[in-house]
Amino acid sequence: MWGFARASDLIAVAVLAALSPVGGAALGDPAGRVALGDAGLRVSLADAGVRVSLADTGGGAVRSDTGGGVPAPARVVSINLCTDQLAMGLAAPGQLLSVSWLAADPRSSAMAAEAGRYRLNRRQAEEVYLMRPDLVLAGTFSDPAALALLRRLGLRVETFAPVTSLRGVRAAVLRMGRLLGREGAARAEVEKMDVALARLTPPKGLPEKTAALYYPNGYSPGGGTLANAILAAAGFRNLAARTGRTGAGTLPLERLVMAAPSVIVTSHPYPGASRAEAILRHPALREVEKTAKVVYSGPSWVCGTPEVVKAVAQMAAVR
Amino acid sequence: MSDRRLLGALGALLLVLFVASLAIGPAGEGFGASMRALFTGEGGPIVAVMREIRLPRALLGLMIGATLGLSGAALQGFLRNPLAEPGLIGISGSAALGAVIALQTGLAAAFLLALPLAALAGAVIAVAVLMALAGPRGTALTLILAGIAVSAFAGALTALVLNLSPNPYAAADIVFWMMGSLADRSMVQVWLALPFMLTGSVMLLSLGRGLDALTLGEDAAEAMGVNLARLRLVLVLGTAAVVGAGTAVAGAIGFVGLVVPHVLRPYTGGRPSRLMPASALGGAAMVLAADVAVRLIAPDRDLKLGVLTALVGAPFFLRLIWQTRRAGR
């Protein structure tokens, strides 16, 4: 019964058991100590792997807003900027325990103020495990080692791929709703978003305008990206996608200067210097900016959440 | 080959490559229209492309390549060691560290010359340490080992400074500082580097006679009236000035100072005074050729220049070690 699938599992469990309240060790973390008192934490080690289950958090289970069915997860931890925001927008009070520290950074996160109400994690498997979540939300590009470790420890991990279209935003919101047992709230969010987007759709027959996405190091998302979808929704053609390029990539400054787009979408520089951002102050770019409108893309451009409506509105305003 | 014919041939090659560097780029405009825009300033957006993007890029390639070739030849002459090269023995890496510190502390933003000056300071420290550890009496092995240590230390500190920066892009800059690139530079960088490169080049070229004498050994050189202490000081400062300025604006580009003097040495009778000007022209040609190749191989990717010079230079370096080993037996 005490057999392990892999030696590495044993080591991982040993380390985590020594750190966790189960082992009787007093943990500096206040949340951990509270849980020690009233939570019936059972650790069962099965041959196939390791499963940790939480019998009762003392706070009562979160009820699904659709009523009935499977009980919704009660201790959700998110470790990805985008799942952070999707979860914060939909979770029931008390259901979401922790979001990643990036969610509290106003430069990356459209919900930085809300994130201040949650415990912030640094996306490490160890700290996530110690929060004893019953659902971990991550991105498909989250550290695979951390996700594999959490899965081996028996946690349920759900990953979200980066959203690349407005339809993808709807799908992500609805999926998050299902995972959190908040389908009703998710449907309402999607309806609200669709109404707002319909209002922003440019009238037919307008001449097509070109916008160039231009970020540090000349980074410029091509077709099949969320930024491309935002431009399209506001009636712009993406310069980087004009040559048929899809996905991530760079746009040579020369090509941008030659195309003379009517709008340049770029970002505000971060504090501290970087050679990557120096290109945004290049004299040739300054020359183009004399005739083009410059839009600064904020956090609403980063993630496939209902916040993208704000990004579309930003572009519609310069249409 | 006579000096005049060698320098003439290298000069012609350089001219072709310089024009190629001006003519090749993703803008996709015709050669005639591009050149007309460059010289007359008429022709719409292509003018900005030619004057603000391509011209500084070609000029920087020329300047950086020339000074790397020159300083490589001078270092090899002084140390009488064919493996000496600014990138390989950590001078470029230390210059990059100086530049990164100037950028991250905000000094470079407050005071324009702080960037090349800090890079120069980094390079001076590196050359001084290397001279102390592996001066003319040190073996080739001592120099390479000291260079590895200096490179590793400077590289680690550069990565540390960039990782601690509040700017998320700073860490991605590590590749630029270690491999070097001429992409999307502007005339600002040309003017920033030019005075240091001119001064340093004049200093290095003035050493020709002393380095020639040194090929006969230190005692013979001193007997011929060469002041070795002064020669060493001028060499240290001259090398630091050109490598510091080049690294500050384009990152560390390696192997140019190794490959070029080695290829040209047989044509110059092994005399540093003749090898140095030839290496300057050859180095400029090599960097311009590499920079044109970078644009042809991956026009949309900003392939780093140092990747190409290392692809050519590293096998070369191995061959040189092999030869040094056999000669030492």
Percentage, residues of chain A above pLDDT 90:
67
pLDDT above 80 for A69? no
Nearest chain A residue to B180 by CA: give it.
A275
From the CB of residue B316, how many other CB atoms can be counted at a distance below 10 Å? 15
Mean pLDDT, residues A247-260: 91
Residue B20 lies in a domain: no
> Domain boundary at A158, A193, A228, which?
A193
- Judge whether B30 lies within some domain: no
Distances (CA, A) of B226 to A133, B77, B211, B239: 77, 14, 9, 19
Which residues have a Cβ under 8 Å from the Cβ of A155 and sit 6 or more positions away? A52, A128, A129, A133, A134, A136
Residue pair A43/A52 in contact (Cβ under 8 Å)? The answer is yes
**Res B36: pLDDT:** 93
Q: Are the C-beta atoms of residues A307 and A110 closer than 8 Å to each other?
A: yes
Residues in chain A closer than 8 A to B177 (CB atoms): 275
| Facing A250 at nearest CB: one of B46, B49, B300 | B300
Contacting residues for B317 by C-beta, under 8 A, at least 6 apart = B83, B88, B255, B258
- Residues A14, A103: one domain? no
For chain A, the domain total comes to 3
Instruction: Note the pLDDT of residue A66.
Output: 56
Which residue in the set A245, A252, A270 is minimally distant from B168, CB to CB?
A: A270
Least confident window among A66-75, B37-46, B89-98, B187-196: A66-75
Q: What is the pLDDT of residue B218?
A: 86
Residue type, A80: N
- Which candidate in B29, B115, B169 is best for mutational testing of the A interface (most A CBs within 10 A)? B169
Domain check: are A206 and A186 in the same one? no
Determine contact: B328 vs chain A, CB below 8 A: no
Number of Cβ within 10 Å of residue B147's Cβ equals: 25
What's the domain range around A38?
7-54
Average pLDDT value for residue range B205-212: 96
Which residue in B24, B49, B50, B185 has the most chain A C-beta atoms within 10 A of its own C-beta, making it the best mutation to test that interface?
B49
pLDDT above 70 for B120: yes
Helix, strand, or coil here: A220? coil
Whether the CB-CB separation of B257 and B85 falls below 8 Å is answered with: yes
Nearest-angstrom CA–CA distance, A217 and A198: 34
**Cα–Cα distance measured from residue B140 to residue B300, given in angstroms and rounded to the nearest whole number:** 41
Cα separation, B99 vs B109, in Å, equals: 12
Cβ neighbors of A292 (< 8 A, separation 6 or more) are: A212, A260, A261, A262, A263, A264
Evaluate whether residue B97 is within a structural domain.
yes
**In angstroms, rounded to a whole number, what is the distance separating the alpha carbons of residues A253 and A221?**
14
| pLDDT(B118) > 80 | yes
Point out the least confidently predicted range of A72-81, A176-185, B34-43, B240-249. Answer: B34-43
pLDDT at B1: 61
Q: Which two three-digit tokens encode residue A186?
A: 């998710």
- What is the per-residue pLDDT across B163-177, written as a single tens digit (0 to 9) for each? 999 888 888 888 899
Average pLDDT over residues A223-233: 96
CATH of the domain at B242: 1.10.3470.10
Locate A81 and state its tokens: 């900027």
Q: Which amino acid is it at A243? A: T
Q: What is the pLDDT of residue A65?
A: 65
Encode burial over B300-310: b for 16+ CB neighbours within 10 A, e otherwise: bebbbbbbbbb
Cβ distance B167 to A273 less than 8 Å, yes or no, reads: yes
Which pLDDT does position A94 carry in this prediction? 95
- Please state, in angstroms and rounded to a whole number, the distance separating the CA atoms of residues A83 and A175: 11
Residue labelled with tokens 């080690």: A45
Q: What is the mean pLDDT of chain A?
A: 82
Section A187-206 average pLDDT: 93
Q: For B65-108, what is each residue's pLDDT tens digit?
A: 999 999 999 999 998 888 889 998 999 999 999 999 999 998 98
What number is the average pLDDT over the span A28-33? 33
Q: Would residue A59 count as lying in a domain?
A: no
Confidence of residue A10 (pLDDT cuts 50, 70, 90): very low
**Confidence check: pLDDT of A28 > 50:** no
For residue B170, the enclosing domain spans 63-328
Give B225's contacts (C-beta < 8 A, 6+ positions apart): none
Q: Which of B189, B324, B195, B319 is nearest to B263 (CA)?
A: B319
The confidence band for B322, taking pLDDT boundaries of 50, 70 and 90, is confident
Q: Same domain for A21 and A92?
A: no
Cβ pairs A/B, distance under 8 A: 98
Q: pLDDT at residue B215 above 60? A: yes
- In the structure, what pLDDT confidence band is assigned to residue A96 with cuts at 50, 70 and 90? very high
Q: Does B110 touch chain A (CB under 8 A)?
A: no
Q: Do the domain assignments include residue A60?
A: no
Residue A255: HSE in the Cβ half-sphere, 13 Å Cα cutoff: 20
Would you say residue B39 lies in a domain?
A: no
| B108 closest CB neighbour out of A273, A279, A282 | A273
Per the model's pLDDT, the better-predicted residue between B136 and A26 turns out to be: B136
**What DSSP state is assigned to residue A295?**
E
Residue A59 DSSP one-character state: S
Quick one: A80 and A45 in the same domain?
A: no
Structure tokens at A163: 């959203």
A235 neighbors A262 (Cβ within 8 angstroms): no
Does some domain include residue A70?
no
Confidence of residue B329 (pLDDT cuts 50, 70, 90): low
Mean pLDDT of chain B: 91
- Across the range B232-256, mean pLDDT stands at 94
pLDDT score, position A301 = 96
The strand pair at A119-121 and A49-54 is best described as: unpaired
Which of residues A193, A215, A249 is at a domain's end?
Answer: A193
**Can you give the pLDDT at residue A43?**
34
Q: What is the pLDDT of residues B295-308, one digit of tens each?
A: 898 877 778 899 99
- Provide the pLDDT for residue A32: 32
* Same domain? A81 vs A176: yes
Give residues with Cβ within 8 angstroms of B228, minimum separation 6. Answer: B214, B218, B221, B222
Lowest mean pLDDT: which of A17-26, A70-79, A197-206, A207-216?
A17-26
Query: CB–CB of A270 and B177 under 8 A?
Result: no
Asked whether the beta carbons of A106 and A100 are under 8 A apart, the reply is no
Helices (DSSP H) in chain B: which residue ranges?
3-23, 31-40, 45-48, 55-79, 91-104, 107-110, 114-134, 140-164, 173-179, 187-205, 208-214, 218-223, 228-250, 256-264, 272-297, 305-328
Residues A80 and A188 in one domain: yes
Given pLDDT bands bounded at 50, 70 and 90, which one contains residue A59? very low
Q: What region, left, alpha or beta, does residue A41 occupy, with left being phi > 0 and alpha being psi -120 to 50 degrees? A: beta
Give a yes or no: residue B46 inside a domain. no
| Contacts (Cβ under 8 Å, ≥6 apart) of A17 | A23, A43
* pLDDT in the model for residue B71: 97
Whether residue A69 lies inside any domain: the answer is no
Strand arrangement, sheet containing A96-100:
A119-121, A96-100, A76-78, A135-139, A157-160
Q: Mark yes or no for CB contact B165/A272 under 8 Å.
A: yes
Residue A88 lies in a domain: yes
Q: Provide the chain B residues 10-49 that lie in CB contact (below 8 A) with chain A.
A: 25-29, 45-46, 48-49
Residues A182 and A262 in one domain: no
Q: Is A208 found in the same domain as A180?
A: no
Domain count, chain B: 1
Shortest distance between the Cα of A149 and any Cα of chain B, in A, equals 26
